[in-house]
Amino acid sequence: MESSYSKYSAKDDLVWLMLRPWIFIPRVLYILLTFIFLFLRILFQGNSKNKNVQKNLSKYLFDVITDLGPCFIKLGQALSTRPDLVRQDWLTELTNLQDNLPAFDHKIALKIIEEELGASSNELFDEFPDSPVASASLGQVYKAKINNNFLAVKVQRPNLYFLIRRDVVILRFLGTFLSPFLPLNIGVGIGEIIDEFGRALFDEIDYEKEAKNALRFANLFKENPNIFIPKIERQFSSKRIITTSWIDGVKLRDRALLEENNLIPASFIKTCVISGLQQLFEFGYFHADPHPGNMFALKGGNVDCGNLAYVDFGMMDTITNSDRLTLIKAIVHIINDEYYLLAEDFQKLGFLTKEQDLQELVEPLKEVLGGSLGAEVGNFNLKNVTNKFSKLMYSYPFRVPSRFALIIRAVVSQEGLALRLDPEFKILKIAYPYIAKKLLTDNSEEILEILLEVVFDKKGQIQIEKVESLLNILFKDSENINSDLIPVANAGLKLFVSKKGSEVRKNLLLSLIKDEKLEFTDAKKLLALIRDTFSPLNIAKSALQNIISTV
């Protein structure tokens, strides 16, 4: 029985495995030989035009990952969300890693239920099926029934703690040993990143913790009518069993499947991305495993925002308030083409050392990120940035802080999910307007400080071009141009007359004084910009659009 798990400890777990060489040595050899054979097969068959060869190769890839066990399946799931990295015929097979893995013995599942909950499945539920409806890396799900309500009963795979403990240690050992020979440059952190992955996996196999995560996540989205979180059924949950209300929806796996069910893919992309941005930039608590098997499209919603359900809250993580605000600043600095300040942001986040000369990074960063709001915005996605950054990291001492490992995984997975539904999807078309709206409507002290940096320069003068850029992003590049006008106008007016707005009022007055004289040129430009943006006609359109969206 595995009801008592330890926390992840790189040192203690390494000692534990090294004291068991009969486990360690054969497993290392098996993993190395497996990857050598996989590499050789991809090398000789990867470029074949024969469909049968590619089909067999994709099946072989799936079998290899499945055979290696839960740790490697988790890594494979991350690949399965990236249609821009993996061939389509391979991707179709890898998608099965999300929730279509071989199930473990049903009798073992029934035994685990009885051990954990103190009674048999037939005693606990009115109806309990003979086979699971889905089988994933860490457990399998049954659709049970009680009091005419369907429930999702997730039962953990047997011997999971041992398998994960063993393989995380080996992954860390191999990663640290082989990193100098790999075509990677992630600084000093490969061991730290695997540690982060290990900690997340150890948390994920504790279903009691997952239940708490689900409750916390649901509370964060309780005011959002488009996000649904299944209810935890505590009387049927334990360390290795978690039971929730049943979600009757369509997985965000395939555009055609959504359309067959009269669901609009674009509406779910927007809900998915906006909710992801909220998790990172508002809540500081995020779902670190947003692959299509964990997200469902539901009926209802509207053309602009579809109803979305999240499931599986085992892999969650937090982002500190300091990191959250620095990331917002970094996005603002990209918007404003301020690459020295962006380099400072990277330094503060730990991607660069404190000794690094930031000035020498201005031009390289401009080359990687420049034009993201201009002509290149149509080609801008994380894959392009990642490709450019990988080259940059060989020339300059960028490193990936371990605390960002799950953040990057979540963002990349989410963009990959959106690309599956819409190959033309560009994350900046949603992310930039979101950040712009947050700056213009969030009156917290921290966000107000960032807004003041945008509106006024260090001498206190109004930066008309930056204010105009911010408004253009929100009201010209946004797909839903008019709906935000009234909220932004209301927030701006409230801020200006509030106690918090004293700094804004003071800076505006100081900006009128140049060389000890009153100068109204910038103020006139600002007023003209506000007048054109928030004209009565635009406000009327906004009101009409908001009325239509609620009907």
- How does DSSP classify residue 315? S
Q: Which two tokens stand for residue 179?
A: 């990193």
| Tally of CB atoms within 10 A around 254 | 16
Q: Give the rounded distance of the alpha carbon of 431 from its chain centre.
A: 13
Give which of 525, 539, 537 is closest to 486, Cα–Cα: 539
23, HSE (Cβ side, Cα atoms, 13 Å): 14
Burial of residue 102, with CB atoms counted within 10 A of its CB: 0-12 exposed, 13-18 middle, 19 or more buried? exposed
Contacts of 454 (CB under 8 A, 6+ apart): 332, 336, 439, 463, 466, 467, 470
Longest dimension (CA), the chain: 86
Q: Residue 175, CB half-sphere, CA atoms under 13 Å: how many?
A: 19
DSSP string, 504-536: HHHHHHHHTEETTEE--HHHHHHHHHHHHHT-H
Using a 10 angstrom Cβ sphere, with 0-12 exposed, 13-18 middle and 19 or more buried, the burial of residue 242 is: buried
How far apart are the C-alpha atoms of 529 and 534, rounded to whole Å? 9
Q: Of the candidates 519, 511, 432, which has an alpha carbon nearest to the alpha carbon of residue 473? A: 432
Q: Is 4 helix (H, G, I), strand (E, B) or coil?
A: coil
Q: Please, how many CA atoms are within 13 Å of residue 277, restricted to the half-sphere of its CB?
A: 21
Rounded CA-CA distance 144/136 in Å is: 18
What distance lies between CA 418 and its chain's CA centroid? 11
| Rounded Cα distance, 355 and 397, in Å | 10
Query: Within 10 A of 261 (CB to CB), how many other CB atoms are there?
Result: 11
Give CA–CA dist 382/390, Å, rounded.
12
- 349's tokens: 């986040």
Pairing of strands 307-310, 227-228: parallel
- Give the dihedral of Cα atoms 137, 142, 143, 144; nearest 10 deg: -150
Any alpha helices (H) in 316-427, and if so which ranges?
A: 321-335, 339-349, 362-369, 382-395, 405-421
Name the nearest CA neighbour of 313 among 283, 289, 293. 289
Burial 137-151 (b: 16+ CB within 10 A, else e): bbbbbbbbebeeeeb
Active site residues: 289
Beta bridge partner(s), residue 232: 244
- Work out the burial of residue 379: count CB atoms within 10 Å of its CB; fewer than 13 is exposed, 13-18 middle, 19 or more buried: exposed
CB-CB contact of 448 with 503 (8 Å): yes
